[in-house]
Amino acid sequence: MQTGQIFGVIGSGLAALIATTVLILGCRGKGNIRFHQEGAAITGYVAGYFYSIAATFWSGAAAITGGVTAALTGPGGAFGNGGMGGVALLLAVIAYGAKLKPGLAAVLGVAAFTVFQQAGGIWATPAVIVASISGNLMGVH
């Protein structure tokens, strides 16, 4: 085990499975893990990060999100050429401005990871933080 890795090395595919399990249990809220809106959205965002680095089976979330954002932002899209920064801001407004059930907040968090990465700028900052924590403390690769 490398210095600083609390849980030893965790592969990205297993990290994605663990994050998904935590999301499901937390959103159902019948055990010791219970999410409200913000906790579900943040955990969904972290799960989105793990999905992106795990690829293969887990890459479906990014593909679906990418298709939806292309429909919103591309030329001839539903709302004109809105840009990814606009979609990121829209997701943030919905996540923190609307009253959402934990399951929907989790889905929004997963989608937010892909959108925030594509938007760049300040929106990519949370991904850098998640990557640093998961790499340095847990050895996710």
In tens digits, the chain (141 residues) has pLDDT values of 555 567 777 888 888 899 999 999 999 989 899 999 999 999 999 998 888 888 776 666 666 666 666 666 666 656 666 678 888 898 899 988 999 999 999 989 988 888 898 888 999 898 888 888 887 767 665
Predicted pLDDT at 23: 92
* Domain map (residue ranges) of the chain: 12-137
Predicted pLDDT at 99: 93
- Is this model's pTM higher than 0.85 or not? no
Task: Write out 64-131 in H/E/C secondary structure.
Answer: HHHHHHHHHHCCCCECECCCHHHHHHHHHHHHHHCCCCHHHHHHHHHHHHHHHHHHCHHHHHHHHHHH
